[in-house]
Amino acid sequence: MDSNKRPETMQRITTPELANAFIDEQVASVRAQVGNKKVLLALSGGVDSSVVAALLIKAIGKQLVCVHVNHGLMRKGESEMVIDVFGKAMDANLVYIDATDRFLNLLAGVAEPEKKRKIIGGEFIKVFDEEAAKLEGIEFLAQGTIYPDILESDGVKAHHNVGGLPEDMKMELVEPVKLLYKDEVRVVGDALGLPHEMVYRQPFPGPGLGVRCLGAITRDRLHALREADAILREEFDIAGLAGKVWQYFIAVPDFKSVGVRDGKRYEGWPAIIRAVNTTDAMSATVEEIPYAVLHKITDRITSEVAGINRVLYDLTPKPCGTIEWE
């Protein structure tokens, strides 16, 4: 039987009971596969790798070594959450690497989107590889592969995800959620006790804010983007839009316009809001955000975020605009 094919008889996991049954089954199967050996996992903090981490912590505890590489392009609070949830609450074996300077130094002056992606992906592998080399006795590599990744292995995510690991890493794979669809991964994550915020997190590209800090990334503009994005997320939460809109974020282009503040000329970057709905990310519609919410977000971003003097709302569906600006 092809272990990468979901059996037709496999029931869709929609309830805590079904999730718990799945978890018990996977805990037993991971223990049988791994024995007393060690397993390595690149833990990005995204839904899939987080659920795999929680499942493996349940199955093999400290035999799992989680490595979280902070490439400096995470959203506000994300790395901190990984440390709190896995390092502290779950007491996992977590190696946290702040590689911000490495990534931002390499990216300095690089404006072309594909080049930026290549640098981020390549450096990620390098950092992860260096950490793996320091660890001893690791024989398994865990991955948050999910069923759509298998079905679309030539598709978008596989093609541009950062999580691609070195091909010469000769380790046996542990992929406990590889036959699950995203909604099932979330039900399992809930059953494992992961925070709601983590389990229902919106999709976030592997290269992170690197694709939203347009053109050549600078630290000040990246900081402004991260702060503006945090305000957007906060206000969507307050307005009850967080669960309704599939993906929403800020992009900050690398040009300034003139503005005025306190009676003085004030040059700043625009913050562009993107808020879209889609089922498969191949096409997307623009969410109708109430004007009151847009005004509040605009007021907060322009008064709280240094360097931003205008807020724009992108009304373009996909096609012809892609979801990200890059």
Q: What are the structure tokens assigned to 205, written together?
A: 């590209």
> What string marks each residue from 247 to 286 as x (binds ligand XMP by CB under 6 A) or -?
x---------------------------------x-----
CB of 55 to ligand XMP, least distance (A): 20
Nearest-angstrom CA–CA distance, 74 and 44:
9
- In terms of CB distance, is 51 or 59 closer to ligand XMP? 51
Q: Can you tell me which residue has the tokens 């977000």? A: 297
> What string marks each residue from 145 to 174 as x (binds ligand XMP by CB under 6 A) or -?
-----------xx--xx-------------
Nearest-angstrom CA–CA distance, 125 and 109:
21
Nearest-angstrom CA–CA distance, 134 and 299:
48
CB of 252 to ligand XMP, least distance (A): 16
- Cβ burial of 65 (10 Å; 0-12, 13-18, 19+) is buried
- In terms of CB distance, is 100 or 161 closer to ligand XMP? 161
- Helices (DSSP H) in 35-94: which residue ranges? 47-60, 78-82
CB of 161 to ligand XMP, least distance (A): 4
Coil, strand, or helix at residue 310? strand
Which of 205, 210, 268, 307: binder of ligand XMP (CB under 6 A)? 205
Coil, strand, or helix at residue 219? helix
- In terms of CB distance, is 52 or 92 closer to ligand XMP? 52
CB of 91 to ligand XMP, least distance (A): 29
User: By the 8 A CB rule, do 39 and 58 touch?
Assistant: no
CB of 65 to ligand XMP, least distance (A): 23
Q: What are the structure tokens assigned to 237, written together?
A: 């939460």
Q: Which residues bind ligand XMP (CB under 6 A)?
A: 156-157, 160-161, 203, 205-207, 211, 247, 281, 318, 322-324
